[in-house]
Structure 1
Amino acid sequence: MRNGITTGPPDSPLVQTLHEIYTRHTGDTDHPSRTTGAGSYASAMQNSVIFGCEFPDGSSGNTHSADEYGSLSRFISAIGIYAEALYRLANLPAETSEKRGN
């Protein structure tokens, strides 16, 4: 099943955990998780999620273009989001990991 951000169910522990982390770090409760037009291999894998940091104010820093840039504060915020995501996903219950194919 595809819903834009994942090839797995949107109510899966994987998707819910990532959404919760992003929301808690950014305070953004007004915008649902979504995907961009960026290319990815997510459609080639089962139960996968495209996960990146686009902040609520929409400032992208000319993403993936000539003269791409970003602020140091956004970089530090993104590190916090990714670090928590890696930790929390690594510690999901074993049953969930088996469903992910690990």
Structure 2
Amino acid sequence: NNLVGEIEEEGNHTKLILKGKSAHASTPDEGINAIIFLCKYLATVVDNKLVDFILEYLDDCNGKKLGIDHTGMMGSLTLNLGVISYCKEEFKIILDLRCPHDIDFDGMIEKFQTACANYGFRENHNIGKALYIDPDSDLINNLHTAYVNVTGDTINKPQAIGGGTYAKSMPNCVAFGAEFLGEDNLIHGNNENIKIDSLLKATEIYCHALYNSIKV
């Protein structure tokens, strides 16, 4: 699979290290999940329910194997197998799900609980309410107008993405800026950065946005 790994002996144990490729939790398909590929190897050398469960239900980024895949107004559901710990047959899996606001949440949870029950596993969840603001609302129109006034860009429109955002901490709030089209700021990665010109342009847009909001 063109991945880098290591294998070494530590006393009576064998230590396996596999390096994948990191990606933002909202775009797991852009990365390479080392957990999945390690499980694919382990399945060839051990008989383990956890390995089998992961490969049967969690080996995709949209929940298709669980039967919970959904595409709505906010885009597609994403499933990221982010963290797993396993010691002496006790384990914990942490999944990061980004769910469109119009999904059947109860039905999704029921399907996942059924998958866990098939293996005798327990499931706990903490699913917050999806953040969705009407794109035709005054808030979005004011922000978009500020962007257009400064950039002159009338082609690109506001978009919904799967990012977890500080905007959930208060009502009627959205994330706004500051990355521009065609720029790669290496968000959440090594050497994350922003060009000074872009920072100044973003500040100008914010000033227009605040002024538009105060007028309203």
TM-score (norm 1): 0.69
Cα 1:35–1:60, aligned 2, differ >3 Å: closer, same or farther?
farther
* Counterparts of 1:81 and 1:11, CA distance in 2: 19
Bigger-Rg structure (1/2): 2
Structure 2: tracts of 5 or more residues without a match: 1-71, 75-130
Contact 1:42 1:48 in 2 (8 A): yes
Question: Percent identical across equivalent pairs?
Answer: 35
Map 1:26-45; keep pairs closer than 5 Å: 26-43=151-168, 45=170
* Counterparts of 1:89 and 1:41, CA distance in 2: 19
Matched, 1:59 2:183: yes
Aligned to 2:198: 74
Cα drift, residue 13 of structure 1? 1.2
Structure 1: tracts of 5 or more residues without a match: 93-102
Matched, 1:15 2:145: no
* Counterparts of 1:44 and 1:61, CA distance in 2: 25
* Counterparts of 2:171 and 2:132, CA distance in 1: 6
Contact 2:179 2:185 in 1 (8 A): no
TM-score (norm 2): 0.36
The structure 1 segments of at least 4 consecutive aligned residues displaced by more than 3 Å after TM superposition are 41-46
Structure with bigger RCO (C-alpha 8 Å, 6+ apart): 1
Q: Deviations over 1:45-65 (max 9, x none)?
A: 543222112313x20321232
Letter in 2 for 1:60: D
* Counterparts of 1:52 and 1:44, CA distance in 2: 17
State the Cα RMSD in Å: 2.4
Contact 1:7 1:48 in 2 (8 A): no
Cα drift, residue 3 of structure 1? 5.3
Cα 1:43–1:70, aligned 2, differ >3 Å: closer, same or farther?
closer
Contact 2:167 2:173 in 1 (8 A): yes
Contact 1:9 1:47 in 2 (8 A): no
Cα 1:71–1:18, aligned 2, differ >3 Å: closer, same or farther?
same
Q: Would you say how many aligned residue pairs link Structure 1 and Structure 2?
A: 89
Higher mean C-alpha deviation, range 14-23 or range 60-69: 60-69
